Amino acid sequence: MKSSLLSLTLLITIASFAQPMYMTRNGQISFYSKTPMENIDAVNNEVTAMINSSTGELAFAVLIKSFRFERALMEEHFNENYMESDKFPKATFSGKITNPGNVNFNTNGNYPVSVEGELTIHGVKKSITSTGTINISGSKVTTLSTFLVRLADYNISIPALVADKISETVEVKVNCEYQPKK
């Protein structure tokens, strides 16, 4: 009994060494809206993200209020009028790599991946798919992905008065550098 317990503990220890979780609290998500009238971009450096290298599951979470715009007034409108960030303070993605066999977390390199999962913005949850790359460099893992978000899909309405300044579809870029979780 005692030896089986010991081997179980050993197994769990080995498993957790062989299949680490990677985490970051300093991930970056930015978005870009382009119209002939005005280009708008905003950056968020406070993204928490995790990857489970054994299952290919991954999750991102971001606070709407910490997107930084060039102009304070735009930031205010984004929070108060479009994203209603008091009511919906965060956006999340949770999903998995659909081709996890393509990524070798123990060998340095650039691996193209496909990802599917659920994106929640403005309180609306939608299934999405995207492509990206995972870069392995020693113990550091970097994920990069760019995808499009249609504002109407997430019930984000743009008043007619500023409709020609804000694109109906914005480009979202995710760039996260992870370390093995302590």
Partner 1 sequence: MKPGILWTILAALVMVSAIAFWLYNKPHRTAEQRPFVSLSATELFKAFESDEISANENYLDKIIEVHGEVDEVTIDMDKNTVVIFKSDDPIFGIRCTLEANNTHIKPGDTIHLKGICKGFLSDVVLTDCIYLKH
Rounded CA gap, 79 and 65, in Å?
A: 7
Positive or negative, the Cα torsion across 41, 131, 163, 159? negative
- The strand pairing partners of 86, in sequence order, are none
- The nearest distance, CB 25 to partner 1, in angstroms, is 6
Rounded CA gap, 92 and 63, in Å?
A: 9
46: amino acid identity, one letter: E
66 forms part of the interface with partner 1 (CB under 8 A): yes
182 forms part of the interface with partner 1 (CB under 8 A): yes
Q: Are 118 and 128 in contact (CB under 8 A)?
A: yes
Stretch that binds partner 1, among 44-52, 97-105, 151-159, 162-170 (CB under 8 A): 44-52
| Residue found by looking up tokens 């960030």 in the block | 85
Nearer to partner 1, 98 or 179 (CB): 179
26 forms part of the interface with partner 1 (CB under 8 A): yes
Per-residue CA distances from 99 to 50, 54, 180 (Å): 17, 12, 21
45 forms part of the interface with partner 1 (CB under 8 A): yes
Nearer to partner 1, 25 or 126 (CB): 25
Residue in 85, 96, 84, 101 with CA at minimum distance from that of residue 60: 96
Q: Are 146 and 173 in contact (CB under 8 A)?
A: yes
Among the listed residues 41, 52, 57, 61, the single contact to partner 1 using CB under 8 A: 61
- The nearest distance, CB 177 to partner 1, in angstroms, is 8
Nearer to partner 1, 100 or 172 (CB): 172
Rounded CA gap, 84 and 79, in Å?
A: 5
- The nearest distance, CB 3 to partner 1, in angstroms, is 29
Residue 67-106 contact track with partner 1, rule CB under 8 A, x = bound: -x--xxx-x----------x--xx----------------
Could you list the residues that contact partner 1 (CB under 8 A)?
Answer: 25-26, 28, 43, 45-46, 48, 61-63, 65-66, 68, 71-73, 75, 86, 89-90, 175, 177, 181-182
